[in-house]
């Protein structure tokens, strides 16, 4: 983990020396998540998100964003009977330190050429890239009890990301990001160790909504 952080710092300083503009900031918001492959569906897990980031603008269109974030992922399922009594309760919490590194494209206009074109009044950034995450804590309970037979989660995760950031004013941005575990590196194998083509186990599947303060 220390090696990864050192590489990130060196990368950011290298980019800063070559870029036209360099910005830093903080991010805070919430994540809604589920885990594909655990037999529970829906974005029922709501968790906090927070961290710091840096942004390098190479030119008026392209740039790069990297950061260090605390992000809780997982899934949750609450089932009730007709009397609104809880009959089944499942909760999975996966606490990660996540390092996203993404390219950023500043979109000035949206539309179809020769038909219509809408100019964006403020910056609208489309981001895409990868992240490396380290699992600092995990807890999985079923009906309030820890399952002693459940498989361990991998300590590391690689995930794909796409996102949008819209500038509200000089300092504030609102952002949305979708992320999914890289298909070849699941966070945990299936209980029986089955592999079905690209379905190799369980995968984090989440969306984040947050505010960024940039200075």
Burial of 81 (0-12, 13-18, 19+ CB in 10 A): exposed
**CA angle, corner 101, sides to 98 and 105, nearest 5?**
135
Q: Determine the straight-line distance between the first and last CA of the chain, rounded to whole angstroms.
A: 27
Phi, psi angle pair for 157, to nearest 5°: -140, 140
* In the chain, where the domains are located: 2-214
Most confident of 29-38, 55-64, 82-91: 29-38
> What does the pLDDT read at residue 5?
54
Check pLDDT > 70 for residue 10: no
Most confident of 2-16, 52-66, 76-90, 176-190: 176-190
Enter the CATH code of domain 2-214: 2.40.160.20
> What does the pLDDT read at residue 38?
87
Q: How far is CA 100 from the centre of its chain?
A: 8
The DSSP letter of residue 42 is S
Check pLDDT > 90 for residue 4: no
Helix and strand counts by DSSP (H, E) for the chain: 1, 11
Q: What is the mean pLDDT of the chain?
A: 88
Check pLDDT > 70 for residue 116: yes
Q: Structure pTM?
A: 0.87
Most confident of 1-10, 132-141, 145-154, 192-201: 132-141
**Cα–Cα distances in angstroms (integers) from residue 196 to residues 34, 39, 201, in the given order:** 20, 15, 9
The number of residues in the chain equals 215
State how beta strands 124-142 and 21-36 pair. Answer: unpaired
For 83, the token pair is: 């009397």
**Cα–Cα distances in angstroms (integers) from residue 114 to residues 5, 110, 118, in the given order:** 47, 12, 12
Helices marked H in the chain: 2-18
């Amino acid at each position: 983990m220390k090696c990864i952080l050192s590489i990130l710092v060196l990368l950011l300083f290298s980019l800063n020396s070559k870029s036209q503009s360099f910005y830093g900031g903080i991010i805070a918001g919430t994540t809604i998540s589920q885990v594909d492959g655990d037999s529970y569906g829906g974005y029922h897990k709501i968790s906090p998100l927070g961290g710091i980031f840096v942004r390098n603008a190479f030119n008026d269109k392209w740039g790069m964003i990297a950061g260090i974030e605390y992000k809780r992922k997982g899934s949750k399922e609450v089932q009730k009977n007709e009397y609104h009594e809880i009959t089944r309760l499942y909760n999975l919490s996966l606490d990660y330190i996540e390092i996203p590194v993404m390219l950023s494209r500043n979109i000035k206009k949206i539309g179809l050429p020769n038909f219509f074109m809408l100019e964006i009044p403020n910056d609208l950034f489309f981001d895409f890239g990868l992240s490396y995450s380290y699992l600092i804590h995990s807890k999985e309970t079923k009906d309030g009890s820890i399952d002693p037979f459940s498989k361990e989660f991998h300590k590391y995760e690689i995930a794909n990301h796409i996102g949008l950031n819209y500038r509200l004013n000089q300092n504030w941005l609102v952002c949305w990001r979708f992320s999914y575990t890289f298909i070849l590196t699941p966070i945990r194998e299936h209980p029986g160790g089955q592999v079905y083509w690209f379905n190799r186990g369980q995968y984090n599947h989440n969306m984040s909504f947050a505010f960024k303060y940039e200075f």
